[in-house]
Structure 1
Amino acid sequence: MDEALLRGLTPGVLAILVRRGADFAAAEDAVQEALVEAVRVWPAAPVRDPKGWLVTVAWRRFLDATRADAARRRREERAGGEPAPGPALSADDTLQLYFLCAHPSLSPSSAVALTLRAVGGLTTRQIAEAYLVPEATMAQRISRAKRTVSGARLDRPGDVATVLRVLYLVFNEGYSGDVDLAAEAIRLTRQLASVIDHPEAAGLLALMLLHHARRAARTARDGSLVPLAEQDRGRWDTQLITEGVALLQAALARDRLGEFQAQAAIAALHADARTVEETDWVQIVEWYDELARLTDNPVVRLNRAVAVGEADGPRAGLAALAALDPALPRHTAAAAHLHERAGDLPLAARLYTEAAAQATSLAERAHLTRQAARLNGESGARGA
C-alpha cells in the first residue's frame, strides 16, 4: 500500500466532500473510513482512479451517516444526493481547503493548527510539539476549530496573510526530518501565487525556493547539520535560485514590501555570494532592519544581532544581543558564536554546551555539542 499516495490524496478528497455540503468534522470522519477501506481493498484489487474511488466511498459513508439524522438528511437533499462514480474534479481542491482552514472565524493559531492537521497530514502530537503545548491541549484546539468551520462553505475564503503563514509553517515543518512537506508547500504556494495578485505570495514562493535550493547542502552524509558558512555551494540548486531571485525582484518592484519579501531578500543575498567571505552582511543587516520594522519579532532581532556581528564585528553583535531576552530560542547559541568570533573560546565552549541542552532537535543538539567539543579541544591545545 502506497501510504504517500493516500496521504497526498486525502486533502483533495476532504475538500470535495466539504464543497458538496458535508460539514468539516463529518467529512473528515467519512474520509478516514474511506482510507481504512482502501487499505483493506486496494492491495487485492488495485483501482484505476484512486482519488475518484476515495471520493465515491467517502461520500457514501457520509450519506450513510446523514440518513441517521433528520437534520442531516436535509443537508443530503441540498447536496443533490450521491454523484455518479467517476474521476474526481481536476481543480486543486487542496488549495481551497487551505482557505477553508483559514476561515475568518478562526484565530490565526487555530487556522494553522487545523490546516496542518487536515491538509498537511501532521498528527496532533507533531502539531503540539511545534506549538510547545501538551498534546491534549492541541487536540481540544483542533476539535474546536473543526466545530467552528463545520457548515462553512468554500465560497468564503480566509485571510490571505493567514494562508501564507500556514504555508510557511508547513514548509518549515518539511525540514523537521519527521514529515517532508516542503515540496507540497512549494507546489501550493506556486499555485496560490499564480491565481492571487499579491506580492507577498510571490515573496513567500521566492523565499521557499531560495531556501529549498540549499537543501542538499544542509546535511552531511552522516545526517549531521552543516552550517551555512560551511556548506558546499556547488551543491546549491542554481535553477531554483534564479527563479527565486526573479520572483523576488518582480515582487519588490511593486513597492508593497512585506515580511516574506524581506526574508527572501536576505536569502537572496546569501545565495548571491559565491563564498561566505563575499556575503554582503551590511545589506543583510539593512534588510533585517526592514523586517524588524514590519514584524517587531524578537527572533528577527536575534538574527539581526548575528548579522551585525558579521558586518561590524563580534563586539557590536554582542552589544545588539545584550538588548534581547536571554530566554529567546537560540539566544545562547548566538552568544556562543559571537564569543567564538571574539576569541573567547572557553566561554564560547561553555555556551555551546548550554545551547545543546536547550536544543529542540537531536540534529541541532549534536551539532552544538560538536562545536563545544571542538572549542574545548582548541583551548586545550593552546594551553599546552
Structure 2
Amino acid sequence: MRRISALLACAVTAAALLTGCGQTAKQAAEQTSAQETYKFTDQAGNAVEVKAPVERMVVLQHHSLDIICQLGGQDKIVGVESTWQRDLGDYIADIWPAIKEMKTPGTLSQPNIEEIAALKPDIVIVASQSDQASAAKLREMGIPVAVISLRGEGKQAEAQNPRLSNADKAYTDGLHNAIEILGHLTGRDAKAKELWAFAEESRAIVEKAVGDIPDAERVTAIPVSSKHMVYGNDKYVGCMLLRAGAVNPAAKDIQGNGEYNVESLAKWNPDVIISQDRYPEVYKELTTDPAYAQLRAVQNGNVINAPYWAKPWGNPDADSVALGELWLAHMFYPSKVSADVVLERAKAFYETFYGVPFTGTVDAGIKAK
C-alpha cells in the first residue's frame, strides 16, 4: 500500500512538474508568437526589418531615449549614448535611475561597433549625424540600425543644417513618425497614440490663444544653445516660436545652426533671448557679461533660461510640442496663456507618461515690449 502511495505521489509530482514546464513553454511560445516582423523605413530612407516588440535596444540618440522613457519602454534599453547627461539634462536620471548604470557604447556621432555587438541588441537607434560607415558595418553583422532624425523630408545633405520646404510640417510629421516607430519597437503602440494625442491637444490650446497674432505685433526672440551658438532657419525651435506667437530674426541670416557674437545679437536686438538650462554657462554670460548689457532683452530682464521640460531645441521631443510650445506662449503672452494652464498640463504629462510627479515650476511671463 505504501509502495502504491509512493508511486502515486511520484506520479502527481511528475505531473505537476510537467504541467509547470508546459506552462513555461506555452508562455515562451506566446511571447515568441507575439513578436512579428516589423518592416519600416527610417528617417534617413533606410529599409529596416526587425522582430517587434524588441527585447534589447541600444539607443544612441537622446530624443529617442527620452521618448522611449515617456512610453514606459526603458526596460528594453541595454545601452545609451555616452553624453546623455549633457544632451538631455539631469532630470532623465530622476525619471530613470538605471540610466546611470547603463553601458555607453558610443556617442551621437560615433557608435562603438565592438561594444554594441557585445550587448547583442535587436536594434540600434542612431542620430542623423551618426557615422554611416559604422552603421553599415553593424548591418553587415546582422544588427539592424534605424536613424531617427525627428523630421520628415528624408535624409539631408547636412544633418544639423537641413533645408526644408516646409519646416513646421517636416518636424510635426517627423516627430509623429518617430513616436510611432519607437512605440511599435517597444510594444507600446497604444501609449504612443496617447502621447501624440496629448501633444496635439496642447497645440490646440496654443493655436486658440495666440494663433492669430499679426506678424507686426509678434515678440522677436533669439534661441541660443551651447556657447555662442544660435538656431537659425529650418530648425524646430523656429517653428516653436512661430506657433507660440513669436519670430526669430536670426532666421534671415543663418541656415540651421550658426554662431553668434555681441555684434550679431546687437544687430538682431530681440525682445527676448532664450537659453537652455542644460547650458547654464550661456545664461550666466548673457546676463552678467557687460558686453551684452546694451541688448534690449538684457536691459528688460527678458533673457529666459528655458527649463528642461520645455526643450526649445533644434529638433523636437514629444514634450517640446506637448509642453514647450505652450510654455513659450505663456512666457510671451501671459495674459493669453496662464501659468496655471501650463502647470496643469505639465503635471498631467509627467504623471501620464513618465510616471513620476512634476517637480518643475512655471515662471511669470516676460516683461511687456
Q: TM-score, normalised by structure 2?
A: 0.27
More strand by share: 2
More helix by share: 1
